[in-house]
Structure 1
Amino acid sequence: MKALVVYCHPRGESFTAAVRDTVLDRLSAMGIETRLIDLYARGFDPVLSATEHECYENHPENCAPVQSDVDDLQWADTLIFIYPTWWYGLPAMLKGWLDRVFLPEVAFLMPTPERKSIARGLEHIKRLGVFTTCGAPWWLTTFVGAPGKRTILRGVGLLCAKGCRKAFAAHYLMDSSTDASRKAHLDRVARKMDRFLS
């Protein structure tokens, strides 16, 4: 098993960092080869430039600006996202990473005369995980439609292998969290990881 962890948070002392460490600990404990992409630490530029957009469908030229991330994505069979939910969705940094890295002929295959719609490009991804925090309560996030969760687990999930195993854990009401609620969530993340990887 080869796991790619995509981590997105601007502050090193955040609770999201504790979630990341819990995920990495479980991967290490199971002897799973792991690569970590820390978007803020790397200073990743989330903006899809006009130049990149012009060659968006031209493979492999479209990969050149983000080749190392494309290589990591193609190397993995397990993909895990760790981020805070902001305005019910993905942080701009993470959304920009998807825009720039999940390219035609990498994450999906463009339509052809024989195939009228896009096709899966991530069939090597057998496991897809999301670990997040939300300031809003569960009911409000659900009422709004949980767009961040849906983007990854449904949208990205459709590009992965059929029967792709999925894991999700969110600490809701993060702004009023307590030591006890945060500890309980980290324990939940560890349990979810163990089931996810078994």
Structure 2
Amino acid sequence: MKALVVFAHPVPESFGAAVRDTVVAALREKGHDVRLVDLYAIGFNPVMSADERRHHFERGVNELPVADQIEHIKWCEMLVFVYPTWWYGLPAILKGWLDRVWVAHVAFILPEAEGENIRPNMQHIRHIVAVTTCGANWWLTKWVGEPGRRTLLRGIRTLCHPLCRTSYMAHYKMDSSTPESRAKYLAKVRARIGRL
């Protein structure tokens, strides 16, 4: 399967980087064709310009500013997001990647008549995986509503194959984690990714 790993952490020596490396290694060990997009490393600009927004629904023109990233999402069959959960949601750079890359006529088809809804256009994507760390504990994260998880596993999923499967892995209480808890999480990630 063609797997696109989208990584969003600014610190190269972070635990997030260890999670990314574990994910990539586990995918490759299972024979998946892997592409890695490290949003900070490539200097991805998450800010949509006024001109970009003006042309957001204009077929072809809306693709030009992020053509390289659009090529990645058209290529993949599996999307794996590796990121830290900040303020219960996605890092700004990852949210900006979604805003700028998942454009009309690529990710979805615009309504043609009043009362219609957008239609999905990413049916080649059959699996979405979110791998994250959360400073808060499980129950507080649930109580807040997990906006990051919902954006990826519900919002993005609606644009994918009707039978698209989702997986979610989180290391809770990251702010008070230990070497043992982090090692246990990496082992869990490796095992679950290996079963995809």
Q: Does 1:100 align with 2:100?
A: yes
2:62 alignment partner in structure 1:
62
Report Cα offsets for 1:15-55 as digits up to 9, x if no partner: 11111001100111112111111000111110000010011
1:115 is displaced (CA, Å) by 6.9
Q: C-alpha distance in 1, partners of 2:153/2:31?
A: 25
1:195 is displaced (CA, Å) by 1.9
2:86 alignment partner in structure 1:
86
Q: C-alpha distance in 2, partners of 1:178/1:141?
A: 20
Count, aligned residues: 196
2:163 alignment partner in structure 1:
163
Q: C-alpha distance in 2, partners of 1:18/1:28?
A: 15
Letter aligned with residue 112 of structure 1: E
1:189 alignment partner in structure 2:
189
Q: C-alpha distance in 2, partners of 1:58/1:26?
A: 39
Q: Point out 4+ residue stretches in structure 1 off by more than 4 angstroms.
A: none
1:127 alignment partner in structure 2:
127
Report Cα offsets for 1:75-101 as digits up to 9, x if no partner: 111111000000000000000000000
1:191 is displaced (CA, Å) by 1.4
Q: C-alpha distance in 2, partners of 1:125/1:105?
A: 16
Aligned Cα root-mean-square deviation (Å): 1.0
Where structure 1 has 5 or more consecutive residues not aligned to the other structure, the ranges are none
Q: C-alpha distance in 2, partners of 1:127/1:26?
A: 16
Report which stretch shifted further, 176-185 or 108-117: 108-117
TM-score normalised by length of structure 2 = 0.98
Q: C-alpha distance in 2, partners of 1:42/1:145?
A: 31
Q: C-alpha distance in 2, partners of 1:6/1:110?
A: 26
1:114 is displaced (CA, Å) by 7.7
Q: C-alpha distance in 2, partners of 1:163/1:192?
A: 19
TM-score normalised by length of structure 1 = 0.97
Where structure 2 has 5 or more consecutive residues not aligned to the other structure, the ranges are none
SS at match of 1:143: helix
2:27 alignment partner in structure 1:
27
Q: C-alpha distance in 2, partners of 1:189/1:114?
A: 45
SS at match of 1:168: strand
